[in-house]
Amino acid sequence: MKIKLSYCLLINLALLFSTAQAQTQIEIINADKIVYKKKINEDRQVLTGNVRTKHEDRYLNCDSAYFYANDNRIEAFSRIKIWQGDTLELEGDYLIYHGNHHLAEMQNNVKFKHNEMTLQSEDLNFNFTSNEGYFDTRGTITHQNKSLSSRKGIYYTNEQKIDFYGDVTVLDEKETLEADSLEYWLNTEIATFSSNGIITNEDFEIKAQNGWINRLKGAAKLSNSVEITQLKDGTKLYADTCLISDDMNKSISYGNVLVHFPFEEDTFHLTADTLISNQNLNTIKAYYKVYFKSEALSGQSDSLTYNSDQKIINLNYEPVLWMEEFQLTADSIKLILEDKKIKQTLLNSKAFILSSIDSVSANQISGLNMKANFENNKLTSINVLGNGESIYYVVDDETDDNIGLNKIICSNMFITMEENSLQNIKFFEQPTATMYPIKDVTTELKLLKNYKYFNKGEVATKIKNKTK
């Protein structure tokens, strides 16, 4: 209703404005028959057969018409065509043309052509002074290989721009763009939309409430409830804002970023301040306050990079990784994947693994570097490479009480695990081992160098707070 009222207002303003302009009379160039019946209408001439008129630089053809000379107005019927030069044509079955106002009100089977653009609708009001056309019933525009449609709209010939309102659809060979309202420039193929924008092609579906897209350059800026779905694997990204470039292959997303990576039996959830994706290189980079979680693992770091070709995830600056009851930390951590499962984890510099027994006790392994090996996402063995130390609690088989603490120092160690428990330790150099009765275990003995405990539950909370 508001759009319709605005159209009426625009037309009325156009009539008022054009009344003040210099007025020229409509000329009758041809009609097979002209009838004037004063008793019926003192000002109406009835024109039939091959009717042609001229007004300034535009011509009109039709089968029949009423010409009102005093009002400088024509009412035309059937096979109507108005043209201006060789770039503008307007066709339809019923027309009222206001000569004093340079306004054509065309109805029924309307077709409007301007340069390479064609607009079809059941009504179109075209103002030749402002060079603007208004359609108030569903209109469809075709331009080159594109089809654009909406319930209502305005076409500006000077700018070759269209304002669309209501159920807007832009369709070409590559993708579809839908929105509640949209502005579109034909020459540059730039579109700005507001409210319920959806972009779909064979690779992805994008949803956002506001944004613009440059279809020639494959660039876009999306904002307000952005949701991007990769159709190939079902990966979903949510963000407040997303910038897309390089033929839609690169993107930067920020503000409440959340990504779901689906696997066969699991989903990997990731959140960060900013996420950069490059489909040309098959890489993803997330940075600042990165948190991630799946059924098999969870973790956090300052930044994360993932290369899907190399199947490698890098966690940088204060990374923490949890797998079942194990917490892994180092200056940086590299996860090597195979068949969408973790094959090996490399802990580089200040490597540390702990497994909490209770609120005050934890088995620990530290070293310069470590290689943690996995099968089916379960830790099976650990290579400690340099400055190796470990402490683990000796448990009474009958009571499950801690009865002692075993501390081992050895530069290089190989530790095998079974059912998440230490099974065997192989030493590559002469080890130093000391067993302490539990009563002699001090607070200092309980903690190895580089010990840090992190709250695993914080990761789940961060993910849950952003989960859609």
User: Domain 310-457 adopts which CATH fold?
Assistant: lipopolysaccharide transport protein A fold (2.60.450)
pLDDT for the residue numbered 5: 40
Q: What is the pTM of this model?
A: 0.81
Nearest C-alpha neighbor of 258 from the set 280, 291, 298: 291
Q: Where are the domains of the chain?
A: 310-457
Q: How far, CA to CA in Å, does 346 sit from each of 86, 351, 456?
A: 71, 9, 20
pLDDT for the residue numbered 14: 47
pLDDT for the residue numbered 216: 86
pLDDT for the residue numbered 6: 46
Per-residue pLDDT of the chain (468 residues), as tens digits, is: 344 444 454 455 444 444 444 579 999 999 999 998 777 777 899 999 999 999 999 999 999 999 999 999 999 999 999 999 999 999 999 999 999 999 999 999 999 999 999 999 999 999 999 999 999 999 999 999 899 999 999 999 999 999 999 999 999 888 899 999 999 999 999 999 988 999 998 888 999 999 999 988 889 999 999 999 988 888 899 999 999 999 888 999 999 999 998 877 788 899 999 999 998 888 999 999 999 998 888 999 999 999 888 889 999 999 999 988 889 999 999 999 888 788 899 999 999 999 888 878 899 999 999 999 988 878 889 899 998 999 988 888 888 888 899 999 988 989 888 876 777 888 887 788 899 999 998 888 889 988 999 988 888 888 888 765
pLDDT for the residue numbered 238: 94
Nearest C-alpha neighbor of 123 from the set 15, 45, 2, 8: 8
pLDDT for the residue numbered 16: 47
- Only one residue has tokens 């075709």, namely 142
Structure tokens belonging to residue 445: 């003995």
Name residues whose C-beta falls within 8 Å of residue 318's C-beta, 6 or more positions apart in sequence: 301, 302, 329
- Only one residue has tokens 């917490």, namely 327
Name residues whose C-beta falls within 8 Å of residue 216's C-beta, 6 or more positions apart in sequence: 188, 189
pLDDT for the residue numbered 295: 84
Phi-psi region of 435 (alpha: psi -120 to 50; beta: other; left: phi over 0): beta
Under DSSP, is residue 7 helix (H, G, I), strand (E, B) or coil? Answer: helix
pLDDT for the residue numbered 18: 44
pLDDT for the residue numbered 22: 56
pLDDT for the residue numbered 19: 45
pLDDT for the residue numbered 426: 86
Is the distance from CB of 45 to CB of 64 less than 8 angstroms?
no
pLDDT for the residue numbered 215: 86
Beta bridge partners of 435: 406
- Compute the chain's Rg from CA coordinates: 37
What are the phi and psi torsion angles at 293 (to 5°)?
Answer: -160, 140
